[in-house]
Amino acid sequence: MRMETQGKVITCRAAVAWGAGEALVMEDVKVDPPQRLEVRLRILFTSICHTDLSAWKGENEAQQAYPRILGHEAAGIVESVGEGVEDMKAGDHVLPIFTGECGDCRVCKRDGANLCERFRVDPMKKVMVGDGKTRFFTSKDNKPIYHFLNTSTFSEYTVIDSACVVKVDPRFPLEKMSLLSCGVSTGVGAAWNVADIQPGSTVAIFGLGAVGLAVAEGARAKGASKIIGIDVNPDKFSLGREVGISEFINPKESDKTVHERVMEITEGGVEYSFECAGRIEALREAFLSTNSGVGVTVLLGVHASPQLLPIHPMELFQGRSITASVFGGFKPKTQLPLLFTQCLQGQLNLDLFISHQLPFSDINEAMQLLHQGKALRCLLRL
């Protein structure tokens, strides 16, 4: 770690978004030192998830603020810490997490809740919590560059609130651990924490991207008896088999609706369904695929605004329920360390989620691979 940089402005490379749908521009930016309760990280690995893709495409106008540095799935090393940071130091291996944990608010103190009142995920947030200012500036004219999802990891250095940073045992390979800062934790946690899948139960997963496959990996680990995968891309089915999916449905290849096919396969519907596609039609089918009496639907997909739930209130009286999951229900600082250990012990297979590896300079190619459905996670090395 370059100790001479601590307390000073750092100039580094970042992929800057200058407008909705425009190619990210690799350029020099200035990164200020961390302020009180903030941490400056050297990002070593980052990847792109559909939330980044949605923001890049500008699908929600309220989120648009330019110039901006996107990115939130990553791993790195602490370069320096601000005043008051006591749980990490320069040189620590860490994950930036898009939804934080202060440990003091009523949400953090409550079991089963993980949306911290002060540092919860907020797609509209573009500045730091402490002083309402940005830590990024253009190198040429010193104009502000806005933050994204508490993290902004498409930069060699970034400044993050310490509540949104989790230490990682240095024995763990950071390139794999980076997946746990969003996609894999979101899917596995939805199966374990939110749905609380029981052994012998049946599961349907709509959308077999990285999050959907992570749900399947979590369901397999919990002893689900049957996992059904639904996707319009049959190329994903081979990976699905590796995580325990035994039945596949391609909506384009059936005259029946998906929920009718699921009902036939399970003789009455699954106990748990997961919507990971970000499509209202898929959410409706996921809900109707569950068993009338005990069915639970978990929403994970990122939906463009404005959208309303495609459910009549009276349908909830049929014994089906619906909920949503943010970061798999994990409290990042207190619960992720156990997940790290479980991965190190081989309970989860992280290797299959890394479909491509590219240098950071090829970030626009990585964006296109995900956009075209050709990648699960494209690991970018900074």
Q: Is 49 a catalytic residue?
A: yes
Q: Which candidate in 50, 93, 135, 259 is catalytic?
A: 50
User: Could you tell me the maximum CA-CA distance found in the chain, to the nearest angstrom?
Assistant: 66
DSSP structural state of residue 379: E
Give the HSE-up count for residue 232: Cα atoms under 13 Å, Cβ half-sphere.
Answer: 9
Q: Is 50 a catalytic residue?
A: yes
CATH of 10-181+352-381 given 3.40.50.10470, 3.90.180.10, 3.40.710.10, 3.40.50.720: 3.90.180.10
CA distances in angstroms from 349 to 213, 214, 215, 370, listed in the order given: 11, 9, 12, 21
Rounded to 5 degrees, what are φ and ψ at 349? -100, 105
Rounded Cα distance between 82 and 86, Å, is: 9
Rounded to 5 degrees, what are φ and ψ at 278? 75, 30
The confidence score (pLDDT) of residue 184 equals 96
117: CB partners within 8 A, 6+ apart? 102, 105, 106, 107, 108
Rounded Cα distance between 27 and 155, Å, is: 10
Rounded Cα distance between 324 and 302, Å, is: 11
| Closest alpha carbon to 321 in 351, 298, 346, 354 | 298
Model confidence pLDDT, tens digit, residues 159-175: 999 999 999 999 899 99
Contact (CB, 8 A) for 81 and 5: no
| Closest alpha carbon to 48 in 369, 372, 332, 359 | 369
Which residue has 């490379």 as its token pair?
A: 13
Q: Which candidate in 46, 99, 116, 266 is catalytic?
A: 116
Task: For residue 171, give the amino acid letter.
Answer: R
The confidence score (pLDDT) of residue 21 equals 87
Q: What is the pTM of this model?
A: 0.94
Q: Is 102 a catalytic residue?
A: yes
Rounded Cα distance between 168 and 208, Å, is: 28
| Closest alpha carbon to 143 in 72, 66, 61 | 66
Q: Can you give the pLDDT of all 382 residues of the chain as single tens digits?
A: 456 899 999 999 999 999 988 999 999 999 999 999 999 999 999 999 888 988 888 766 555 688 999 999 999 999 999 999 999 999 999 999 999 999 999 999 999 999 999 999 998 889 999 999 999 999 999 999 999 999 999 999 999 999 999 999 998 999 999 999 999 999 999 999 999 999 999 999 999 999 999 999 999 999 999 999 999 999 999 999 999 999 999 999 988 999 999 999 999 999 999 999 999 999 999 999 999 999 999 999 888 777 788 999 999 999 999 999 999 999 999 999 999 999 888 888 899 999 999 999 999 999 999 988 888 899 999 9
* Superfamily of domain covering 184-328: NAD(P)-binding Rossmann-like Domain (3.40.50.720)
Rounded Cα distance between 242 and 79, Å, is: 38
Q: Is 266 a catalytic residue?
A: no
Q: Is 51 a catalytic residue?
A: yes
Q: Which candidate in 68, 72, 303, 320 is catalytic?
A: 72
Rounded Cα distance between 294 and 195, Å, is: 12
Rounded Cα distance between 63 and 42, Å, is: 26
Rounded Cα distance between 67 and 145, Å, is: 5
At residue 205's C-alpha, the angle toward residues 116 and 220, to 5°, is 85
Residue 140 burial (10 A CB sphere; 0-12, 13-18, 19+): exposed
- Terminal Cα distance for the chain, rounded: 15
Q: Which candidate in 93, 120, 259, 261 is catalytic?
A: 120
Rounded Cα distance between 109 and 241, Å, is: 39
Q: Which two tokens stand for residue 134?
A: 């940005």
Q: Which candidate in 12, 102, 343, 378 is catalytic?
A: 102
The confidence score (pLDDT) of residue 339 equals 94
Q: Is 108 a catalytic residue?
A: yes
Q: Which candidate in 12, 182, 276, 343 is catalytic?
A: 182
Which residue has 């709509």 as its token pair?
A: 206
Q: Which two tokens stand for residue 319?
A: 């014994």
- Do 10-181+352-381 and 184-328 agree at the fold level? no
Domain boundaries, the chain: 10-181+352-381, 184-328
Q: Which candidate in 46, 51, 202, 266 is catalytic?
A: 51
Element (H, E) at 192: none
Q: Is 343 a catalytic residue?
A: no
CA pseudo-torsion sign 100, 101, 102, 107: positive
